[in-house]
A = this chain, B = another copy of it.
Amino acid sequence: MARRNDHSRSEIHQMALEAARAIVREEGLSGLSVRKIATRIGYTGGTLYLVFRNLDDLILQLNAQTLEQLHTCLVSALQGCQGVEQCLLALARGYVRFAHDERPLWDALYSVRLAADEALPEGYQARVDALFGLVEQALAPLHGAEQRRLASHVLWGGIHGITRLALDDKLDLAGPTRPEALTESLVVNYLRGLAAG
């Protein structure tokens, strides 16, 4: 295969992330390899190692983009909602829909484990914080910052768990319970409990 040398480092960086996204969408994270990405963009694996530390680094940068995409979806889901309950239901539905529509990318978000000595890519933590910020903002009328922080994590963990089980077809085993009914019950009753507390 002929090498192409007509792209800048930052163009190769972006092309590689786009190729990786396409491969993960088609084959899942387990189908991703440096070789496949290189082939798709017409460069050698060696070139990719000039731009990324390793495959894990590339996946983390892909995940950072996915977090941004999820943020955009959730901001759009919040459009026009009013009140704590309505906004949190919108966020929950937006999260479930994103996981459903972009399942391999969503799986990839939770598949990577950092080695103890590895740092997150620049801006990664800020993207995670921005997502929690949406939840905490929706919770703003409730109590203090500490409780909002706790509640945002409870809701995230809870909605995430129900979504995970639904996508893995585990809810069927436990009876024909629709995930939408479960997430709605979680949000509505948890909020009611907080308000009564």
Contact of A149 among B132, B158, B177 (CB under 8 A): B177
Residue A1 at the B interface, CB < 8 A? no
Q: Which chain A residues (50-70) contact chain B, with CB distance < 8 Å?
A: none
Asked whether, in the complex, the Cβ of B157 is within 8 Å of the Cβ of A165, the reply is: yes
Say whether B158 contacts A157, CB under 8 Å.
yes
Please name all residues of chain B whose beta carbon is closer than 8 Å to the beta carbon of A186 when the two chains form the complex: 154, 157-158, 190
A167-179 near B? 1/0 per residue, CB < 8 Å: 0111101110100
B168 near A153 with CB under 8 A, answer no
Q: Which range contains the number of A residues in contact with the other chain?
A: 35 or more
Q: Which of B153, B182, B191 contacts A174 (CB 8 A)?
A: B153
* B161 contacts A159, C-beta separation under 8 Å: yes
- Closest residue of chain B to A194 (Cβ to Cβ) is B189
Contact flags A111-145 to B (C-beta < 8 A → 1, else 0): 00110000010000100100010000000000000
Interface residues of A in 144-168 (CB under 8 A from B): 149-151, 153-154, 156-165, 168
Residues of B within 8 A of A189 (CB): 154, 189-190, 192-194, 197
Shortest distance in angstroms between A163's beta carbon and chain B's nearest beta carbon?
A: 8
Q: How far is the CA of A194 from the CA of B189 in the complex (A)?
A: 6
Contact A156 B132 (CB under 8 A): no
A165 to B158, CA, bound (A): 10
Q: Which of A163, A174, A181 has the most CB of B within 10 A?
A: A174
Bound Cα distance A159, B164 (Å): 12
List the B side residues contacting A158 at CB < 8 Å.
Answer: 154, 157-158, 161-162, 186
Interface digits, A72-106 against B, CB 8 Å rule (1 contact, 0 not)?
A: 00000000000000000000000000000000000
